[in-house]
Structure 1
Amino acid sequence: MTEELEVRLHGEYLGLLRRAPRRSRENVILEDVTPTSTKVRLAESFALRAGRRPDTDLVSRFLGGYLPEGAQRRALASKRAIEPNDLFAFLREFGSSIAGALTFWGQATTEREPRYTPISPKLLRRELQRAIKEHDLGIRDDSRSMIAGFQPKLLVSRFGDSGWSLPHGGGHSTHILKPRLQSRPTRLVDEFYSHELARALGLATFASWLEGSGDGTYLAIERFDRRVHDETVELVHQEDAAQALSLGWADDDLKFQDPERPRDPRRPSAYRIAELTATLRGFEVVEQWVRQLLFRILIGDNDGHAKNVGILHLPGEDRLTDMYDAVPNLFQPERIQWNMALAIDGEFDRRRIDVERLQAEVASWRVLGASRVHDVIDDVLGSFRSALDDVSVPRGGSNGLREFFGRAVDRLRAGDEIGE
């Protein structure tokens, strides 16, 4: 009998997933597609029609985008004795709780009811250290959860003031905990500072905070694709721009624009993401993309690739998610190169970016008028400058980070290139 997984969206049956015969392990087939009543679109990269099998490659690229990357994916594969590129096996093993509102259930899955076990501060610290050492998201033998990304992290749940719990069976995490790394002791605080600035600019609404001390410090991040009602977790559907653009998932580099081949159709660009956002809700979402893109430039986030741009699917509405994983990576000593993940008017080097290039980039999208482009960029720069004055710098972050941000925004406002 052919092994298959039952696919559900917001708990409603959507179809059956099977391995693609005589194809690589990176491919799966979605069959028996049945409409749901959720009025939520499943994906930007392919359309689902009742009774019709969607394109195998498109389905596979979309679903593969929910898997972890790099060492995280290899570690989880090793834990369950599966191949790192075996998409079907990953969804079978960890598909009861991924980003968004899709769930995957196999015939052999016995524990489907949500269950949560409290975790003590001592055990939490140990699990965070294990997540660093083993890159395994702190999974247990009965864990069926995963999330995309490279960084060590732990998926946990929190209900009111009851403290942290680990989800089991059909349980869902509500928060992501990122542990402090000895190799980069200030990185966690720097990321939290960027969260504070993003909230001040209205680019993020999720809560985050620092807890613990020393090597036991961690950053707690509220998931914006989860809503908690008492002890019930509601899923909110999402995908990232790499999935929406149908980029390959097995090669971790495909989420970046290629400086050697900037027009490579297998890779993203600011323009391609702008085209995507224009299909969601017109000018408003495109302007939000401009704001997110400029914010990442201002803080020196060279990891603003397509997987770090999210799309939220709500009933009858599609829009960008809060900005996430915005980290000032370019504020590091002995930088080898200053390239951003996406080019601005053909320029990858952050030091060479100025307002003129920004305006030319956004104008090339042919969505916003010149005066509106000017106003949006000017508003972001002014709001960012005000946020630097209003938001306190957290203790324990990188020395001079606020000045690094301030120099960038002041030079752009003066009409200069950012420089070093």
Structure 2
Amino acid sequence: MVEQALDVLLHGRRIGTAARSSARAPHHVTLAWNDDLVAGPVRLSESFALLPGTSPPTKLASNFLGGYAPEGNQRQALADDRGIAKDDLFGLLREFGGSMAGALIFQAPDEDPKYSPKYDELTETQLGRLLRKAVTESDLGTQDDSRSMIQGFQPKVLLAQLDGKTWLQPHGRAHSTHILKPQLSTKPSKLYDEFYSHQLARHMGLSSFDSAIHNAGPLKYLAIERFDRTIDNGTVSLLHQEDASQALGIDWVDADSKFQSRERPTDRARPSLGRIAELYATLSDPAALHTWIRQLTYRVLVGDNDGHAKNYGILHLDGVDTVTDVYDAVPNLYQEGRIEWNMAFSIDGQFDHRRMSLDRLVAEVDGWGAIARSDAEKLVMGTVRQFIAALEAIPAPAEASKGMRAALEWNTERLIDGKEISERRS
């Protein structure tokens, strides 16, 4: 039996179809745009053009769409639940493409035109059960009829809160408004480290989404407001986004491809800071590159060694493409059991966080040739001073990793003194 192609909708407007590419390449799909397509005010992607009556290159289109899928155990669990292979892109879009990051929706062409989203109200006990299930089964806490998925490795649950207080579980392609991350018994402090980073970033104007730590019975969780969702009179609206890995056309199947290769740092199949800088420099928002340089500096200051290409995003708004809020910037280097100091990208030729300095950050930015060196110095130094002010204003949670706050202060002191961060001795 021939599989039905899926309708592709952007902000509720049908723009084309998606079909399985071939049985020999399940990780690929083929997109075809409507002949009568009229370009709307929101760009679909930075990785390929949306031209009426055409099909974008299969590999680029597949890497863009596959980039919306979860990774690791999360993808395997979702695929197993629906009886498909974990790298079956068409299957993933058919089963879970009803609500993804951003504003793209995939649906069957014969879907009831009167479809309306449905939610279940959750008790505290039910919420705790979902969070524990997400940890043990890596299933995103989804319903059997859920058509939702989100990127990433970490256990999480996708829920909605339409009234500001009641947690709702989405059915079908009903949209979530929050990502809930349960506390892990193996890394109990990580939840508080991430929350503290949210607080610092908000103080510095690098993010605006809300977050808070709550309890579901004895289980703690971090509730994060989605920056690609808005709520108006109980209705969820979508903001379109993609991450830098998708925009650069990076392979979606290999989980390591979002990192720069340390063995072959100039490998064009992998991202680099220079390639991401080129991407942001072309966005219609003239402040995009400057904003991203501040975000890069912040990740160095906070000790985030997981700032890969999927953790930098592009927000496609009405008439403008800009940088997303900083997200998933966690002080990983100060958690118990950390195994290495290497960052996701080299900065001025160095991956080791201990070798980072103001001169190295400025030299990296200057090497892109996109802004004047004096502007790079002002941006980097200004971000360091804002970080210092945030540290002074916001105390770290008592439950955060031991020594994390002192390490962040150490980082700023070393950079301000013109030295490499090196390794703090407790």
After TM superposition, the structure 1 stretch with the greater mean CA deviation from structure 2, 212-221 or 258-267, is 212-221
SS of the residue corresponding to residue 199 of structure 1 reads helix
CA–CA separation in structure 1 for the residues paired with 2:137 and 2:115 = 27
Give the structure 1 partner of residue 250 of structure 2: 247
Taking the TM superposition and a 5 Å limit, the aligned residue runs for 1:211-250 are: 211-212=214-215, 215-250=218-253
C-alpha distance after superposition, 1:6-64 (max 9, x if no partner): 00000000101100135410000111435356311100000010011111111101000
One-letter code aligned to 1:199? R
SS of the residue corresponding to residue 281 of structure 1 reads coil
CA–CA separation in structure 1 for the residues paired with 2:135 and 2:41 = 39
- Structure 1 residue 246, shift from structure 2 partner: 0.2
- Structure 1 residue 194, shift from structure 2 partner: 0.2
Give the structure 1 partner of residue 84 of structure 2: 82
CA–CA separation in structure 2 for the residues paired with 1:197 and 1:402 = 11
Give the structure 1 partner of residue 74 of structure 2: 72
Give the structure 2 partner of residue 360 of structure 1: 363
CA contact (8 A) 1:112 1:169 kept: no
The answer to whether 1:63 aligns with 2:65 is yes
Give the structure 2 partner of residue 150 of structure 1: 153
CA contact (8 A) 2:366 2:372 kept: yes
Give percent identity, aligned residues only: 50
One-letter code aligned to 2:56? P
SS of the residue corresponding to residue 8 of structure 1 reads strand
C-alpha distance after superposition, 1:236-277 (max 9, x if no partner): 000000000000000000000011110110111111100000
One-letter code aligned to 2:6? L
CA contact (8 A) 2:97 2:148 kept: yes
Over the residues paired in the alignment, what is the CA RMSD in angstroms?
Answer: 1.5
One-letter code aligned to 2:307? G
CA–CA separation in structure 1 for the residues paired with 2:186 and 2:174 = 33
CA–CA separation in structure 2 for the residues paired with 1:227 and 1:16 = 26
- Structure 1 residue 213, shift from structure 2 partner: 6.7
- Structure 1 residue 283, shift from structure 2 partner: 4.9
CA–CA separation in structure 2 for the residues paired with 1:299 and 1:181 = 21
CA contact (8 A) 2:127 2:216 kept: no
- Structure 1 residue 163, shift from structure 2 partner: 0.6
Give the structure 2 partner of residue 317 of structure 1: 320
SS of the residue corresponding to residue 212 of structure 1 reads strand
Cα distance change on mapping 1:43 and 1:354 into 2, 3 Å: same
One-letter code aligned to 1:151? Q
CA–CA separation in structure 2 for the residues paired with 1:2 and 1:141 = 21
After TM superposition, the structure 1 stretch with the greater mean CA deviation from structure 2, 252-261 or 168-177, is 168-177
Give the structure 2 partner of residue 101 of structure 1: 103
Give the structure 2 partner of residue 6 of structure 1: 7
Give the structure 1 partner of residue 21 of structure 2: 20
C-alpha distance after superposition, 1:78-134 (max 9, x if no partner): 100100000000000011100000000024656942111101111000100000000
CA contact (8 A) 1:283 1:367 kept: no
TM-score, length-scaled by structure 2: 0.96
Give the structure 2 partner of residue 418 of structure 1: 421
CA–CA separation in structure 2 for the residues paired with 1:63 and 1:209 = 30
Taking the TM superposition and a 5 Å limit, the aligned residue runs for 1:87-166 are: 87-107=89-109, 112-166=115-169
CA–CA separation in structure 2 for the residues paired with 1:278 and 1:227 = 27
CA–CA separation in structure 2 for the residues paired with 1:210 and 1:22 = 45
CA–CA separation in structure 2 for the residues paired with 1:396 and 1:354 = 29
Give the structure 2 partner of residue 267 of structure 1: 270
CA–CA separation in structure 1 for the residues paired with 2:337 and 2:154 = 22
CA–CA separation in structure 2 for the residues paired with 1:215 and 1:407 = 35
- Structure 1 residue 315, shift from structure 2 partner: 1.1
Cα distance change on mapping 1:175 and 1:49 into 2, 3 Å: same
CA–CA separation in structure 1 for the residues paired with 2:82 and 2:111 = 15
SS of the residue corresponding to residue 330 of structure 1 reads helix
CA–CA separation in structure 1 for the residues paired with 2:25 and 2:84 = 14
CA contact (8 A) 1:283 1:368 kept: no
Equivalent of 1:291, from 290, 294, 297?
Answer: 294
- Structure 1 residue 169, shift from structure 2 partner: 2.2
One-letter code aligned to 1:100? G
Gaps of 5+ in 2: none
CA–CA separation in structure 2 for the residues paired with 1:21 and 1:150 = 28
C-alpha distance after superposition, 1:197-241 (max 9, x if no partner): 000111000000000178510000000000001111000000000
CA–CA separation in structure 1 for the residues paired with 2:222 and 2:367 = 38
One-letter code aligned to 1:209? A
CA–CA separation in structure 1 for the residues paired with 2:110 and 2:357 = 57
Give the structure 2 partner of residue 185 of structure 1: 188
Cα distance change on mapping 1:350 and 1:4 into 2, 3 Å: same
CA–CA separation in structure 2 for the residues paired with 1:387 and 1:214 = 32
TM-score, length-scaled by structure 1: 0.97
One-letter code aligned to 1:20? S
Cα distance change on mapping 1:334 and 1:181 into 2, 3 Å: closer
After TM superposition, the structure 1 stretch with the greater mean CA deviation from structure 2, 184-193 or 21-30, is 21-30
- Structure 1 residue 162, shift from structure 2 partner: 4.6
Taking the TM superposition and a 5 Å limit, the aligned residue runs for 1:330-345 are: 330-333=333-336, 335-345=338-348
CA contact (8 A) 1:174 1:233 kept: yes
Question: How many residue pairs align between the two structures?
Answer: 420
CA–CA separation in structure 1 for the residues paired with 2:355 and 2:165 = 49
CA contact (8 A) 2:33 2:50 kept: no
Cα distance change on mapping 1:264 and 1:215 into 2, 3 Å: farther
After TM superposition, the structure 1 stretch with the greater mean CA deviation from structure 2, 276-285 or 225-234, is 276-285
CA contact (8 A) 1:68 1:147 kept: yes
- Structure 1 residue 348, shift from structure 2 partner: 0.1
Equivalent of 1:389, from 386, 389, 392?
Answer: 392
After TM superposition, the structure 1 stretch with the greater mean CA deviation from structure 2, 280-289 or 235-244, is 280-289
CA contact (8 A) 1:12 1:36 kept: no
Gaps of 5+ in 1: none
Cα distance change on mapping 1:367 and 1:126 into 2, 3 Å: same
Cα distance change on mapping 1:213 and 1:84 into 2, 3 Å: closer
SS of the residue corresponding to residue 233 of structure 1 reads strand
Give the structure 2 partner of residue 43 of structure 1: 45
C-alpha distance after superposition, 1:284-304 (max 9, x if no partner): 111111111111111111110
